[in-house]
Amino acid sequence: MAEGDAVIANNLKEQLLKKTMDFVNDSFKMALFTATYTWTPDGADLAYSATNEISAANYTAGGKLLTGLAVTQDDALDLAKWDGNDVSWTALGAASPRHAILYDDTTATKWVVGHWELATDSNGGDYTLQFNTAGIMTVS
């Protein structure tokens, strides 16, 4: 998997069918993790846990709240898209985030939506995770 590639958690598919999450009105957060965090889409990482989360200046445990969430339907391309604003940390202290996890902070379980592999260190400047132009998630 290359830097920035996203993988959707297999458990998300079940949660979609159970209508566990509201992708417009729930609070979704992006959290950053160290290299010691282990990710598998069908593994035990179905819910957010602070274990192996980074610790850095201007970073709050639990991650950053996503804004601008929207779900749209595209009949021309026969798909639906979930998107939101890119996630930025201002003056993020020196850290080596290697994983980013997106999760639903509204649900009691804090279900994980997906994972991004990272390779860029923060250096005290602004740190931004930019979503694909196709959206955070596209369903076709």
Show the tokens assigned to 31. Answer: 């959290």
- Sorted by where each begins, the domain ranges of the chain are 6-139
62-120 pLDDT, tens per residue? 999 999 999 999 999 999 999 999 999 999 999 999 999 999 999 999 999 999 999 88
β-sheet bridge partners, residue 114: 8, 102
22-63 pLDDT, tens per residue? 999 999 999 999 999 988 888 666 899 999 999 999 999 999
5-18 pLDDT, tens per residue? 788 898 888 888 99
User: What SS3 string covers 76-136?
Assistant: CCCEEEEECCCEEECCCCCECCCEEEEEECCCCCCEEEEEEECCCCECCCCEEECCCCCCC
Q: Which of the 8 DSSP states describes residue 70?
A: E
**CB of 91 within 8 A of CB of 58?**
yes
Burial 13-47 (b: 16+ CB within 10 A, else e): eebeeeebbebeeeebbbbbbeeebebeeeeebbe
Give the predicted TM-score (pTM) of the model: 0.92
Show the tokens assigned to 125. Answer: 């400047």
Give, for 16, the enclosing helix (H) or strand (E): helix 10-17
Pairing of strands 112-117, 137-139: unpaired
